[in-house]
């Protein structure tokens, strides 16, 4: 085993989680497009495809480049990228090699994407100003011609279903889609991220909000004369509750590993968690001990509803009361015996996506024995 702290993955549990989500999606006739930002690992991406995923979701161009290079043929960048000239050229190169879909949530963003992926910049005024959504922009006919000279770039219009991050209001999705189509992009439909489903007891409401927003968005596209073959939603907490009468596709990410948040939300059981940090007890005082895995290993995510800064897999009544960069302080209940100095403990991060992005590789356990390593190939690919 490596020196602590390190991240370990139980291969059997990952495989079970992958198969279970594939089965659930198939049973409900959802296309499954897992979000690869969680694992950033080529081996896992290819396994997701083998198990029937239609393609992958990613968050950045850099992630898309890693998975395209690895042979994944259908990628959706679920982020409303502002495509400057450099990003436009990279998106063009991707689209010429894979089926590429990009999020848009504004008419300006769509026009910019169309222009730069066609190798043209648009004027700074058009880019950064606030023109009426349907105002003509200089060179739009030219954009259309040039954009269509390469492989198509598909877009999904992002709508806000209650998470209040990016995404247009659902009723405005038609205007955005029309601007995209006019600029020469291929409108594939609509999507949302019901991120407000994270939290205690929020899952069903968030899934209902998701369905309602997507219905409105599909109607808005139809009113603009555009179809929505793809209606995409879903996250690990809301995937089970996603409305199969509305959604065509789900995009869960965390499900293959799970984490302390998913356990505390009730999305999964303890036995479904496939990734943990292995840490060593380095200090003990009273009912507290200190582990050598802190926020630079686990990540600093700590939602207000969480019971602590992560959980101990083998000491479920203990609480992580503080995280420093290299320390986790763990409080054990009064009277409970504490692990000894030098013992290795398994720690579930609150948010597995953040923990994985801090590691260069994952140690793969088969029947509890280190059998392989997976490189976190897309680690740090933020742009």
**Segment 157 to 176, residues that bind a second copy, using CB under 8 A:** 160, 164-169
Give me the residue label for tokens 């990540």: 299
Do 322 and 309 contact (CB within 8 A), yes or no? yes
Q: Does residue 297 belong to the site contacting a second copy (CB under 8 A)?
A: yes
d(CA 104, CA 217): 13
Least separation in angstroms between residue 281's CB and a second copy is 7
Taking the C-alpha atoms of residue 349 and residue 346, their distance in angstroms, rounded to an integer, is 10
Quick one: 13 or 329, whose CB is closer to a second copy? 329
119-148 binders of a second copy (CB under 8 A): 124, 127-130
Please, what is the minimum distance in Å from the beta carbon of residue 82 to a second copy?
5
Q: Which of residues 46-75 bind a second copy (CB under 8 A)?
A: 59-61
- 52 or 195: whose CB is closer to a second copy? 195
d(CA 295, CA 206): 29
Q: Tokens 């303890």 belong to which residue?
A: 270
Report helix, strand or coil for 285: strand
Among residues 341, 366, 370, 371, the one that binds a second copy under rule CB under 8 A:
341
Structure tokens that stand for 94 in this block: 């991707």
Q: Is 314 in the site for a second copy (CB under 8 A)?
A: no
Considering only residues 132, 201, 245, 342, which one is a binding residue for a second copy as defined by CB under 8 A? 342
Nearer CB in complex with a second copy: 26/341: 341
Can you tell me whether residue 159 is helix, strand or coil?
Answer: strand
Coil/strand/helix, residue 155? strand
- Of 150 and 195, CB closest to a second copy: 195
Which member of 42, 66, 211, 353 binds a second copy (CB under 8 A)?
353
Pairing between β-strand 319-323 and β-strand 328-331 as defined by DSSP bridges: antiparallel
Of residues 202-231, those binding a second copy (CB under 8 A): none
Cα distance between residue 121 and residue 326, in whole Å = 45
Measured from the CB of residue 152, what is the shortest distance to a second copy in angstroms? Answer: 22
Q: Could you tell me the sign of the dihedral formed by the alpha carbons of 300, 304, 308, 311, in that order? A: negative
**For residues 51 and 338, which CB has a smaller minimum distance to a second copy in the complex?**
338
Angstrom distance (rounded) from CA 272 to CA 285: 32
DSSP 167: -
Q: How far is the CB of 163 from a second copy (least distance, A)?
A: 9
Whether residue 341 has a cis bond before it, omega within 30° of 0: no
Distance, in Å, from the CA atom of 4 to the CA atom of 205, rounded to the nearest integer, reads: 40
**Piece of the chain touching a second copy by CB under 8 A; list 11-19, 44-52, 213-221, 289-297:** 289-297
Nearest CA to 69 out of 89, 39, 92, 98 is that of 98
Q: Binding a second copy by CB under 8 A: which of 37, 39, 311, 315?
A: 37
Residue 108 in the binding site for a second copy (CB under 8 A): yes
* Residues within window 320-339 making contact with a second copy, judged by CB under 8 A: 322, 324-327, 329, 339
Cis peptide before 175 (omega within 30 of 0): no
> Between 21 and 293, whose beta carbon lies closer to a second copy?
293
Q: How many helices (H) and strands (E) does the chain have?
A: 12, 17
In the list 45, 263, 290, 377, the residue contacting a second copy (rule: CB under 8 A) is 290
- Strand bridging mode 275-285 / 344-348: antiparallel
Q: Which stretch binds a second copy (CB under 8 A): 49-57, 104-112, 140-148, 223-231?
A: 104-112
- How big is the site for a second copy, counted in residues (CB under 8 A)? 72
| 301 forms part of the interface with a second copy (CB under 8 A) | yes
Per CB under 8 A, the segment of 8-16, 148-156, 236-244, 275-283 that binds a second copy is: 275-283
């Amino acid at each position: 085993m490596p020196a602590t702290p390190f991240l370990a993955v139980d291969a059997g549990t990952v495989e079970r989680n992958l198969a279970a989500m594939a089965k659930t999606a198939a049973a409900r006739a959802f296309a499954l497009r897992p979000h690869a930002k969680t694992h950033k690992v080529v081996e896992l991406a290819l396994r997701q495809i083998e198990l029937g995923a239609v393609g992958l979701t990613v968050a950045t161009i850099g992630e898309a480049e890693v998975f395209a290079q690895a042979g994944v043929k259908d990628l959706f960048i679920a982020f409303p990228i502002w495509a400057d000239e450099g990003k436009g050229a990279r998106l063009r190169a991707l689209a010429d090699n894979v089926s590429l879909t990009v999020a848009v949530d504004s008419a300006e963003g769509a026009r910019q994407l169309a222009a730069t992926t066609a190798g043209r910049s648009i004027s700074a005024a058009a880019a950064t100003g606030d023109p009426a959504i349907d105002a003509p922009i200089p060179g739009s006919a030219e954009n259309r011609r040039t954009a269509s000279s390469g492989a198509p770039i598909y877009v999904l219009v992002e709508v806000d279903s209650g998470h209040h991050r990016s995404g247009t209001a659902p009723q405005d999705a038609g205007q955005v889609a029309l601007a995209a189509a006019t600029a020469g992009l291929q409108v594939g439909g609509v999507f949302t991220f019901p991120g407000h489903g994270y939290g205690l007891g929020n899952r069903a409401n968030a899934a209902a909000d998701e369905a309602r927003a997507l219905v409105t968005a599909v109607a808005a596209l139809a009113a603009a004369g555009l179809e929505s073959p793809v209606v995409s939603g879903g996250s690990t907490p809301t995937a089970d509750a996603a409305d199969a009468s509305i959604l065509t596709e789900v995009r869960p990410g965390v499900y293959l590993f799970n984490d302390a948040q998913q356990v505390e939300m009730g999305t999964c059981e303890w036995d479904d968690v496939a990734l943990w940090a292995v840490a060593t007890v380095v200090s003990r005082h009273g009912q507290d001990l200190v582990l050598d895995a802190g926020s630079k290993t686990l990540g600093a995510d700590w939602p207000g509803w969480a019971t602590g800064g992560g959980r101990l897999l083998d000491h479920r009544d203990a609480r992580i009361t503080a995280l420093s960069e290299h320390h986790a302080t763990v409080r054990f209940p009064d009277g409970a015996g504490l692990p000894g100095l030098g013992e290795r403990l398994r720690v579930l991060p609150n948010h597995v996506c953040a923990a994985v992005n801090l590691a260069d590789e994952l140690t793969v356990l088969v029947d509890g024995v280190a059998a392989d390593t997976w490189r976190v190939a897309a680690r740090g690919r933020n742009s």
